[in-house]
Amino acid sequence: MRSRAVAVLAIGLAVAAESRCLGAGARRAPIPRLSAGTPLSEQLLAIAKRPPVRNRAEFAVAVAEVGSGEPLLSVNGETPLILASTTKLFTTAAALERLGKDYRFKTRLYADGDVQNGELEGHLVVRGGGDPAISGRLFADDPLAVFEPWARSLHERGLRRIRDGLLLDTSFFDEVLWHPDWPAEQEQHWWQAPVSALSYNDNVILVRATGGFRPGAPALLGFYPAGPPLLSLIGRVFTAPGHGARIGVRRESGSRTVVASGLVGRNRVWMKDVTVPDPPLYFASGFSRVLEETGIELGTGPTVARGKWSLPESRLLHTHETPILPVLAVCNKRSQSFYAEQILKTLGAERTGLGTWEAGRREVAEFLKSLGLAPSNYRLADGSGRSRNNLATANAYLAFLQALAGRWDKFDLYEPTLAITGDPAGSLRHRMLGEATRGRVFAKTGNIAGVVTLCGYVHARSGKRYAFAILINGGCPEGRGHAFQDRFVTHLARFG
């Protein structure tokens, strides 16, 4: 009897420790009474019976040991629910399979004319290839550094002037910048950035406000890293006493005007991101600035080509390449929706010649078929999960995770691209930091209004590995959803 009592006490203390790991202020359901010898499935069921939503039909969870045939637990496992950003795993896994681990996003520079005495007698044609990483992410957070090798390469070829300026070829993708399912009122936010074959700096620009010396004086306003053509800034920001800042930034859907208003402290520098309506022109603003700093003059402003600008490869001057694996890691770890949409359209463009959402989704469906899964079990609308029409059941998602881990030859390359508990590069950096879970949970988070999801893998202390899908809809607040997910996965890691 003494050993039984000790076992019950150990489980109780462990669950209490889970509560502490959730953080102060996190509300949770009463701890279920568990006896020694209670099967793991029943332990997890006791937690799952207390979901963080009133309508339990809008919550689902499914768990299985990797490689097993049947779920260890399935609650509402056949209920289709909104996936949010866990949709990204379908996009990124399909891209790795169908584009290959050695795939590189390519942006090419061509001479549309002869070079005479240092002058290009025509355009410098920039042909976009859907690269989402033309930014500072892979260049020590310097958004202009990415262009320096391009400009240096042209300068070393003797180029000093481009008579007709930049010609921007975006034909790799279609011209639909925003998915029709995305809410127009969120267009200005980074998570809903436009999609283009020629994109720059995640297609967001920083509005920067610097306070003056005297309270009441207008603040100094500007764009960073470069102000694209056709984008104007209206400033109503003034200097306030102290060092705080309270500023609102707004760009209406379809507008090329950014309005900033509020207060910023003396000598304080404040920045806020906002999406740009014309990605190719934004790209041109950054590239043009670096060209001019390198000593290459532009004879006129940039032009966006209509249709593909055909040029022989003999006219190729420079190619910029970005490997696929770092791109997948940014998408999955940081939950970068812009990256996901660029990846999906690139998948369609490379495989079918059509850089569209529909072509990308067809490639994802083919990947699911190759895993032995029925594409009809997964309703996918976009690549990132921003659409509320991305739906699947917890059981179907679990089957997808099992197929990846159990019969996909690229899984060992893929799993490290997921967010990992305690990893500062990912969305799980502040979650599940206890001994049983830190560095042991590899998953994809998901959050849109009222939807909180988490799907992935946990390497339990026992040495077993589990796949899990936790889908919470029903207006769930993000904090409550995270608290429930962390409690459930931590218990699985400790006792699985």
Reported for 77-80, long-range contacts at CB under 8 A and 24+ positions apart, including other chains, are 77/393, 77/394, 77/395, 77/398, 78/393, 78/395, 79/393, 79/394, 80/379, 80/391, 80/392, 80/393
* Boundary residue ending a domain (283, 308, 324): 324
Identify the band that residue 223 occupies on the pLDDT scale cut at 50, 70 and 90: very high
Torsion sign (Cα): 271, 273, 274, 280: positive
For residues 90 and 108, membership in a common domain is answered with no
For residues 119 and 73, membership in a common domain is answered with no
Strands 59-65 and 73-75: antiparallel
**Number of folded domains that form the chain:** 2
383 forms bridges with which residues in the sheet? none
Identify the band that residue 307 occupies on the pLDDT scale cut at 50, 70 and 90: confident
pLDDT (tens digit per residue) in 386-442: 999 999 999 999 999 999 999 999 999 999 999 999 999 999 999 999 999 999 999
The C-alpha angle 356, 359, 361, rounded to 5 degrees, equals 105
Dist CA 51 CA 481 (whole Å): 8
Residue 137 has phi, psi (to 5 degrees) of -55, -40
pLDDT (tens digit per residue) in 317-333: 999 999 999 999 999 99
- Residue 463 structural domain: 2-99+326-495
The CATH number of the domain where 246 resides is what? 3.50.80.20
User: Dmax of the chain from CA atoms?
Assistant: 94
- Residue 17: per-residue pLDDT: 40
- Residue 258: per-residue pLDDT: 96
Exposed e or buried b per residue across 206-224, where buried means at least 16 C-beta atoms within 10 angstroms of its C-beta? bbbbbbbeeeeeebebebe
For residues 68 and 93, membership in a common domain is answered with yes
The helix or strand, by DSSP H or E, that contains position 210, with its residue range, turns out to be strand 204-210
Tell whether the model's pLDDT for residue 286 goes beyond 90: yes
Dist CA 180 CA 197 (whole Å): 18
For residues 313 and 410, membership in a common domain is answered with no
- By the 8 A CB rule, do 282 and 276 touch? yes
* Boundary residue ending a domain (290, 324, 358): 324
User: Helix (H, G, I), strand (E, B), or coil: what is residue 90?
Assistant: helix
Dist CA 86 CA 109 (whole Å): 36
User: Helix (H, G, I), strand (E, B), or coil: what is residue 211?
Assistant: coil
- By the 8 A CB rule, do 62 and 70 touch? no
The helix or strand, by DSSP H or E, that contains position 482, with its residue range, turns out to be helix 478-495
Lowest mean pLDDT across 11-20, 102-111, 382-391, 485-494: 11-20
- By the 8 A CB rule, do 456 and 468 touch? yes
For residues 335 and 478, membership in a common domain is answered with yes
Tell whether the model's pLDDT for residue 365 goes beyond 70: yes
Reported for 16-25, long-range contacts at CB under 8 A and 24+ positions apart, including other chains, are 17/434, 18/434, 18/486, 18/487, 18/490, 18/491, 19/487, 21/432, 21/433, 21/434, 21/486, 21/490, 22/483, 22/486, 22/487, 23/483
Tell whether the model's pLDDT for residue 122 goes beyond 70: yes
* Boundary residue ending a domain (308, 324, 340): 324
Q: Is the peptide bond before 225 cis (omega within 30 degrees of 0)?
A: yes
Dist CA 11 CA 17 (whole Å): 10
For residues 341 and 353, membership in a common domain is answered with yes
| pLDDT mean across residues, the chain | 92
For residues 127 and 91, membership in a common domain is answered with no
For residues 306 and 334, membership in a common domain is answered with no
Strands 119-120 and 161-162: parallel
pLDDT (tens digit per residue) in 161-220: 999 999 999 999 999 999 999 999 999 999 999 999 999 999 999 999 999 989 999 999
CA 274 to chain centre: 16
Neighbours of 334 (CB within 10 A): 14
Mean pLDDT, residues 24-35: 47
For residues 257 and 132, membership in a common domain is answered with yes
For residues 269 and 122, membership in a common domain is answered with yes
Mean pLDDT, residues 224-235: 85
For residues 261 and 315, membership in a common domain is answered with yes
- Residue 213: per-residue pLDDT: 87
For residues 87 and 118, membership in a common domain is answered with no
Which among 397, 457, 463 has a CA at the least distance from the CA of 62? 397
- Residue 37: per-residue pLDDT: 80
Q: Hey, which bits of 385-483 come out as E strands?
A: 391-392, 419-420, 441-448, 451-459, 465-472
The helix or strand, by DSSP H or E, that contains position 401, with its residue range, turns out to be helix 394-407
- Residue 295: per-residue pLDDT: 98
- Helical ranges in 102-221 per DSSP H: 148-156
108 forms bridges with which residues in the sheet? 127, 319
Identify the band that residue 32 occupies on the pLDDT scale cut at 50, 70 and 90: low
The helix or strand, by DSSP H or E, that contains position 10, with its residue range, turns out to be helix 2-21
Instruction: Name the strands in the sheet holding 104-112, side by side, starting at the edge strand that comes first in the sequence.
Output: 303-304, 166-169, 123-127, 104-112, 316-323
The CATH number of the domain where 401 resides is what? 3.40.710.10
- Residue 228: per-residue pLDDT: 74
Dist CA 193 CA 337 (whole Å): 8
Per the structure block, which two tokens stand in for 203? 């297609």
Give Cβ neighbours of residue 420 (< 8 Å, ≥ 6 apart).
333, 426, 428, 439, 441, 442
